[in-house]
Structures are given as C-alpha cells and as structure tokens.
Amino acid sequence: MPISRFIFFSAKRRFAHASNLLPRFGSSKRIQSCGYTKSAKNNYYKKPTGHPVVNVETQASRSSGAYIIPPILLGFGGLLAFLHYNDERRAVKIGKDSYTGSDTAAAPIIGGPFTLVNSENQIVNEQDFLGNWVLLYFGYTSSPDIGPDQVRIMAKAIDTLESKENLKVLPVFVTIDPQRDTPAQLRAYLKEFDPRIVGLGGPVSAVRQMAQEYRVYFKKVEEEGDDYLVESSHSMYLIDPKMKVVRCFGVEYNAEQLSKEILKELKKHQVNA
C-alpha cells in the first residue's frame, strides 16, 4: 500500500511539474496524465498484489519517458519555427530597391551650431552659411608645410569649380590655434591664397566647441613658450546648404581630385533634391 501511494503521489507531482514547465501543451497531455493518475488511484483501492505493482511501475516508467521526449521535440521544433519566422521578417527581400530614405545614417552625424569671429572682426554663426555649399578646413597659420599645402589645394579646387563648372562653393578656414591667429593674422595669411577664403577664429572655448562638434582632433605639440605646432587631422569637410556634413576629404586629395569629388557630390545632391 505505501508503495502504490508513493507512486500515485509521484505521478501526481510529475503531472503538476509537467503542466508548469510546458504550458503550451494542449490538453492532450493533461488528459493522458489524468489517465495515469486515475489508474494509480484505482490501483490504490485494489489489493496490492504483485501484478498491480508491476502495472503501476511500468505505467510510471512509461509516463516518465513519454513526459520527457515529446516535449523536448516539440520545444525544439517550436524554437526552429520561431527562428525561421524571425529570419523571414528581418530579411530584406531580394529585388526590393536599396535602402532609401536612410542615406543620412550612412555616416556619423557631425557638425552643429557655432559662433566665431571672422577676419573682419564680425561675429559669424552657422546661420550665415545656410544656403551655400561650404568647404571647411580646420588649420592654423603657423603650420610648416601641410597647412599651406591644404589651403592652396582648397583655393585651387574652388577656383576650378567656379571657372569651369560655374559652381560656387564657399571656402572656410577655421583656426585651431586661436591664441596666435588673430583676425588680422588670418586676414594677412589667407589673402595670399585667395580672397574668397573666409577665416574664422575666436575665443578658445568657441573654437573648441566647434571642433568637438565636427570631431576634429587638435593638440599643441613641441611647445617652447610661444612657439608650438598644432597636431590635427588636416581634413576638409564638404557641407551642403542645409549645414549638414556630406563628406570628409583627407590630405591625400590633390586639387583636381578634390574638385572632381566635390562636383560629384553636388550633382548627386541635385538629383536627390
């Protein structure tokens, strides 16, 4: 009697356990287990002879096997079905045209508002450049070789674009050395390259804020009192009329390549607009 009672209780526990773990199971399992418990209950009232014990035992072992394998199989199948459905949902269908409406997310969004002083000692902010294409270069007048080269390339590219393609791009030179590059200094320096280049400087905090917005790295090196070099990335930014940074050009571009690339960007923008 105690044996059958133990088996009955264990069967009941297993049934409860099963129902907790596998809720998705339909009523079929429960009916089966109900059948098992019912038979166990029936056995409880019978006299515990050898046969019923054996019967209950085999029933108990069959129930444990039956409890474990089908749920696992069904669970696995369910997982596969879920993954397949997820893949189908996430995949971009073949033949659907490329990612439209998201070319803004192709690169990190850099740029932002700024307020600086130009070489005529006037306050300038980004609103003044809206509506123009801008080629922006962060440099400093005391650069030994790369700075002047870059400014020269910039001036030549702007000139090529204006004379050959009749496209006006405004060149802007922002100094990353505002302590030494006063507006007068900027004016004298840039005048030698091209009168169209706008020189911007200002207090160190304003320049630093703009450099942060445009992710420009700059650092004073080789410092010997007032004589130092400024290490920076020496790259030019092409900005569209809505003040959004379209492209970044490094030092590897010469004047013709630069003008060609800028022309490409302008044409692309005209198609999109």
Nearest of 20, 18, 24, 26 to residue 67 by alpha carbon: 18
| Cβ atoms within 10 Å of 220's Cβ, excluding its own | 12
Compute CA distances 14 → 28, 56, 60, whole Å.
15, 14, 10
Among 18, 56, 117, 172, binds another protein (CB under 8 A): 117
Query: Which C-beta is closer to another protein: that of 143 or that of 235?
Result: 143
Task: Evaluate whether 170 touches 194 at the Cβ level (below 8 Å).
Answer: no
Q: Out of 87, 88, 222, 252, which residue is the one contacting another protein (CB under 8 A)?
A: 222
Q: Residue 196, interface with another protein (CB under 8 A)?
A: no
Q: Rounded CA gap, 138 and 156, in Å? A: 17
Binding of another protein by 229 (CB under 8 A): yes
Candidates 12, 14, 156, 180; binder of another protein (CB under 8 A) is 180
Asked if residue 208 binds another protein (CB under 8 A), the reply is: no
End-to-end CA distance of the chain: 88
Which residue number, 11 or 153, has a Cβ lying nearer to another protein? 153
CA 126 to chain centre: 26
Enumerate residues 130-169 that contact another protein by CB under 8 A: 141-145, 148
CA nearest 59: which of 81, 42, 84, 83?
A: 42
Rounded CA separation 145/154 (Å):
14
Measured from the CB atom, the residue of 88 and 226 that comes closer to another protein is 226
Q: Does 123 bind another protein (CB under 8 A)?
A: yes
The least CB distance from residue 206 to another protein, in Å, is 7
Interface with another protein, residue 183, by CB under 8 A: yes
Decide: is 121 part of the binding site for another protein (CB under 8 A).
yes
Contact set with another protein (CB under 8 A): 115, 117, 121, 123, 141-145, 148, 179-180, 182-185, 188-189, 192, 201-203, 206, 222, 224, 227-229
